[in-house]
């Protein structure tokens, strides 16, 4: 009888364990409905981030740009405080969606307060099925496989080489994605046509106004390689075409490259007597890069970039010589400065011919989760100047991201980085996502 | 070699290969019990630090057939909109600000912590591994798995399988040199929609991350028919539109 009682007790206990597993595993119990609540889809959604970035900027008093902006009486270093808000939102109803990204910046700098608000993206999207999408409005395309530069990004604004992961402002376009998947070595084929109008008050920074430009990208995933063929034609910019590819050579080694042919390009050249002149020619731009990840999660990226539209060492010397000549008036922002003589040349990032980019980062060293030290450098191979950017990124809690970094510019007179206004900048960025 | 020795070796080889064959069948059944061939799921990933601090991520995942997986981060806000795509051995990560997919590797982790990309975008075990040895130990099978190619994240797996439900109880993951990288523990048998009964919780720890723990919790798994074009780079930024 006693045995029966024991057996019954054990049976009841085992039954309870199987019927109420929660009792047995109370410690590990997780409420699945809470996860589904967090995943709930809403027609209207929004988010973004708030950012505060104080910076200390050390100025290079001998540089051309310092002389241009401050003359001989300016400060040695200045502080700058940036307050930024980024808003992203969407409204989706069946196959139609409206998407926007806006950016607002309030800056307290050496010359006082300044503010800027921009619409990065704002477009309507018709998504009939995964094979066909039609978009109309302001949109970024982000073509190319390169990390630091993209010679085939024919309808994008240039990236900020100091902040490559930042969002860019788009252009007003009408574009489509037509996609097909296959079995066999060709897994995906996609065509992306883009219409880009340029008017006096629409996309005016793209090129000559009064024209409708046509660009396109054909994408293949063939033999495990991403391949794009791209083109741009129209009257706002000269016709250009190219291709890119990206492929994993091993599971931790990736190679990528871009090649672009730019027709009828206006370039600055120096004549025999050292005078600057403008010529028109077809030019090639190209990029080749590698990305390598070690077993300990150290990431290396190296890229070589040849900018066919850029100018060489002789042209650079001549431009700075001319800009610093007595006919130019240092210290005046309205005088006959280099900006006025060759407006696009000295202001744009990486305007010369050959560059090398190198970046290394170590994920979560010393078992510190969400912490990444990194080091980036950009070398101008034409004039030997360079930019060195060590940095630390840390996320101490969900939705909070902090970054501390320095930007050091090294170069002699008449070199790209040697003639910049600052020779170092130390910045601390706090970003809160919501 | 004596005749009886030869017979013994031959018989053990035959039995071994038969067991491996059975093991592969068991592995296929384990795969089907874990997920349907094509499905959508909602998961939460939780990274737990030695001091008990937690970081949580919610993912929407789509899978089709043997080689296609796509995931979208729904929360937290800092990760929202990030999406990943796996087509066979190819893996990409799309970050909204960067605006274009970049190739990533299976050993990297898009969320930090112990889970890496191959854990998050896992294909069926039988697609990536072959069973080399099967042991029957009463209530469990013990399967020794070897990666079919060198591109698979872990060279060998040792899988303990619950014989009754044919789902994993524990998986140890090893490098080619035999080093233990991590152990996955399958817990909390749960019945989802479509009658799928499987462990809802996968815990993992690693000797490489002493004191850290990561947990993957399945909140929903449901069969879903999907077009192949969902699993393409052009559709990767738009996955949210088919939720």
Which pLDDT belongs to residue A252?
84
Q: Which residues between 162 and 181 in chain A have a beta carbon less than 8 angstroms from any beta carbon of chain B?
A: 165-168, 177, 179-181
Among candidate residues B232, B205, B219, B188, the one with its CA nearest the CA of residue B59: B219
User: Per-residue pLDDT tens for A359-398?
Assistant: 999 988 987 888 999 999 999 999 999 999 999 999 999 9
How many C-beta atoms lie closer than 10 Å to residue A17's C-beta? 12
Q: Does B227 reach chain A within 8 Å, measured CB to CB?
A: yes
Q: Of A145-159, A310-324, A347-361, which range is least confident?
A: A310-324
Under a CB-based contact definition with an 8 Å cutoff, are residues B59 and B120 in contact?
yes
User: Per-residue pLDDT tens for A49-80?
Assistant: 999 999 999 998 888 788 777 777 888 899 99
Among candidate residues B100, B99, B105, B73, the one with its CA nearest the CA of residue B86: B105
Q: Of A7-21, A23-37, A102-116, A166-180, which range is least confident?
A: A7-21
Instruction: Give B20→chain A minimum CA distance, Å.
Output: 28
**What is residue A328's DSSP assignment?**
S
Per run of 10 residues, the mean pLDDT along chain B (length 243 residues) is 57 50 88 93 92 91 94 93 91 88 80 81 92 92 93 91 94 93 94 89 90 92 94 94 89
Residue with tokens 């210290």: A331
H helical segments located in A391-431 = none
How many C-beta atoms lie closer than 10 Å to residue B46's C-beta? 19
User: Per-residue pLDDT tens for A211-264?
Assistant: 999 999 999 999 999 999 999 999 999 999 999 999 999 878 999 999 999 999
Q: Of A42-46, A316-320, B105-109, which range is least confident?
A: B105-109
Residue burial B192-227, b: 16+ Cβ < 10 Å; e: rest: beeebebbbbbbbbbeebeebbbbbbbbbbeebebe
CB contact under 8 A, A142 and B187: no
Which pLDDT belongs to residue B8?
54
Which pLDDT belongs to residue A15?
42
Which pLDDT belongs to residue A347?
65
Residues of chain B in contact with residue A38, where contact means CB-CB under 8 angstroms, are: 44, 58, 74-75
Fold of B3-242: outer membrane lipoprotein receptor (LolB), chain A (2.50.20)
A7 pLDDT tier (thresholds 50, 70, 90): very low
Close Cβ partners of A325 (under 8 Å, ≥ 6 residues apart): none
Which pLDDT belongs to residue B4?
59
* Phi and psi angles of residue A319, each rounded to the nearest 5 degrees, phi first: -65, -45
Task: Give the integer Cα–Cα distance in Å for A206 and A198.
Answer: 7
Residues of chain B in contact with residue A401, where contact means CB-CB under 8 angstroms, are: 78
Domain CATH number, residue A87 = 2.40.160.10
Average pLDDT, chain A: 86
Q: Does B163 reach chain A within 8 Å, measured CB to CB?
A: no
Task: Give the integer Cα–Cα distance in Å for A181 and A187.
Answer: 6
Task: Give the integer Cα–Cα distance in Å for A340 and A430.
Answer: 37
- For residue A316, pLDDT over 90 is answered with no
Task: Give the integer Cα–Cα distance in Å for B129 and A244.
Answer: 34
Structural domain containing residue A218? 49-433
Query: Which of A224, A256, A363 lies closest to B89 in CB terms?
Result: A224
The count of domains in chain A is 1
* Residue in B with minimal Cα distance to A253: B105
**Which residues are paired to B205 by β-bridges?**
B183
Task: Give the integer Cα–Cα distance in Å for A364 and A393.
Answer: 10
Structural domain includes residue A6: no
Under a CB-based contact definition with an 8 Å cutoff, are residues A392 and A403 in contact?
yes
Task: Give the integer Cα–Cα distance in Å for B144 and B25.
Answer: 13
Substitution target in A181, A184, A230 with the highest count of B β-carbons within 10 Å is A181
Among candidate residues B204, B194, B102, the one with its CA nearest the CA of residue B153: B204
Task: Give the integer Cα–Cα distance in Å for A9 and A14.
Answer: 9
The more confident residue out of A277 and B43 is B43
CB contact under 8 A, A179 and B60: no
Which pLDDT belongs to residue B11?
52
Percent of chain A at pLDDT exceeding 90 = 62
CB contact under 8 A, A28 and B95: no
Instruction: Give A39→chain B minimum CA distance, Å.
Output: 6
- For residue A292, pLDDT over 70 is answered with yes
Q: For residues A89-117, give the mean pLDDT.
A: 94
Which pLDDT belongs to residue A340?
46
- For residue A310, pLDDT over 60 is answered with yes
Structural domain includes residue A163: yes
A332 pLDDT tier (thresholds 50, 70, 90): very low
ipTM for the predicted complex comes to 0.83
Task: Give the integer Cα–Cα distance in Å for A354 and A308.
Answer: 9
Q: Does B236 reach chain A within 8 Å, measured CB to CB?
A: no
Q: Which residues between 49 and 108 in chain B have a beta carbon less than 8 angstroms from any beta carbon of chain A?
A: 49, 55-56, 58, 60, 74-78, 80-81, 87-90, 95-100, 102-103, 105-108
């Amino acid at each position: 009888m006693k045995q029966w009682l024991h057996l019954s007790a054990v049976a009841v206990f085992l039954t309870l364990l199987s019927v109420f597993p929660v009792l047995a595993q109370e410690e590990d119990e997780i409420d699945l409905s809470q996860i589904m609540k967090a995943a709930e889809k809403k027609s209207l959604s929004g988010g973004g981030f708030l950012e505060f970035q104080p910076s200390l900027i050390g100025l290079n008093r001998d540089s051309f740009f310092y002389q241009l902006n401050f003359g001989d009486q300016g400060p040695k270093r200045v502080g700058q405080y940036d307050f930024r808000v980024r808003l992203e939102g969407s409204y989706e109803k069946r196959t139609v969606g409206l998407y926007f990204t806006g950016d607002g910046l309030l800056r307290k700098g050496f010359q006082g307060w300044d503010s800027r608000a921009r619409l990065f993206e704002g477009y309507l999207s018709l998504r009939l099925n995964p094979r066909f999408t039609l978009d109309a409005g302001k949109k970024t395309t982000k073509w190319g496989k390169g990390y630091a530069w993209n010679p085939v990004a024919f309808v994008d604004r240039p990236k900020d080489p100091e902040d490559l992961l930042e969002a860019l402002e788009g252009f007003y376009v009408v574009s489509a994605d037509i996609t097909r998947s296959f079995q066999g070595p060709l897994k995906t084929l996609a065509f992306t046509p883009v219409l880009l109008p340029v008017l006096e008050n629409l996309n005016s920074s793209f090129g000559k106004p009064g024209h409708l430009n046509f660009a396109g990208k054909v994408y293949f995933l063939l033999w495990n390689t991403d391949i794009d063929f791209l083109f741009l034609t129209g009257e706002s910019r000269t016709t250009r075409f190219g291709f890119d590819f990206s492929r994993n050579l091993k599971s931790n080694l990736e190679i990528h490259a871009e090649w672009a042919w730019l027709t009828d390009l206006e370039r600055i050249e120096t004549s025999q007597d050292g005078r600057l002149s403008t010529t028109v020619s077809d030019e090639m731009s190209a990029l080749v890069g590698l990305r390598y990840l070690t077993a300990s999660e150290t990431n290396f990226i190296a890229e070589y970039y040849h900018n066919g539209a850029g100018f060489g060492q002789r042209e650079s010397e001549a431009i700075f010589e001319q800009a610093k000549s007595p006919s130019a008036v240092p210290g005046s922002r309205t005088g006959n400065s280099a900006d006025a003589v060759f407006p696009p040349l000295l202001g744009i990032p990486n305007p010369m011919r050959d560059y090398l980019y190198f970046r290394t980062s170590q994920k979560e060293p010393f078992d510190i989760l969400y912490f990444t030290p990194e080091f980036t450098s950009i070398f101008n191979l034409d004039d030997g100047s360079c930019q060195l950017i060590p940095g630390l990124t840390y996320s101490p809690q969900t939705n909070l991201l902090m970054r501390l970094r320095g930007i050091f510019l090294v170069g002699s007179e008449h070199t790209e980085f040697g003639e910049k206004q600052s020779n170092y900048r130390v910045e601390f960025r706090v970003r809160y996502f919501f | 070699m004596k005749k009886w020795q030869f017979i013994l070796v031959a018989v053990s080889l035959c039995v071994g290969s038969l067991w491996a064959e059975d093991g592969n069948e068991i592995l296929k059944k384990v795969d089907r019990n874990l997920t349907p061939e094509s499905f959508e799921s909602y998961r939460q990933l939780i990274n737990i630090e030695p001091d008990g601090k937690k970081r949580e991520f919610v993912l929407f995942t789509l899978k089709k057939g043997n080689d296609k997986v796509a995931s979208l981060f729904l929360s937290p806000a800092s990760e929202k909109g990030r999406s990943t795509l796996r087509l066979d051995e190819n893996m990409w990560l799309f970050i909204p600000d960067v605006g274009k997919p970049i190739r990533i590797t299976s050993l990297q982790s898009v969320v930090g912590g112990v889970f890496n990309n191959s854990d998050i975008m896992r294909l069926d075990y039988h697609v990536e591994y072959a069973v080399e040895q099967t042991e029957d130990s009463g209530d469990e099978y013990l399967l020794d798995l070897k990666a079919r190619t060198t591109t698979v994240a872990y060279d060998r797996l040792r899988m303990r399988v619950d014989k009754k439900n044919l789902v994993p109880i524990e998986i140890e993951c090893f490098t080619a040199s035999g080093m233990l990288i991590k152990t996955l523990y399958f817990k909390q048998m749960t019945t989802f929609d479509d009658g799928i009964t499987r462990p809802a919780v996968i815990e993992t720890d690693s000797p490489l991350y002493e004191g850290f723990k990561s947990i993957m919790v399945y909140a929903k798994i449901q069969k879903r028919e999907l077009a192949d074009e969902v699993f393409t780079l052009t559709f990767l930024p738009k996955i949210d539109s088919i939720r």
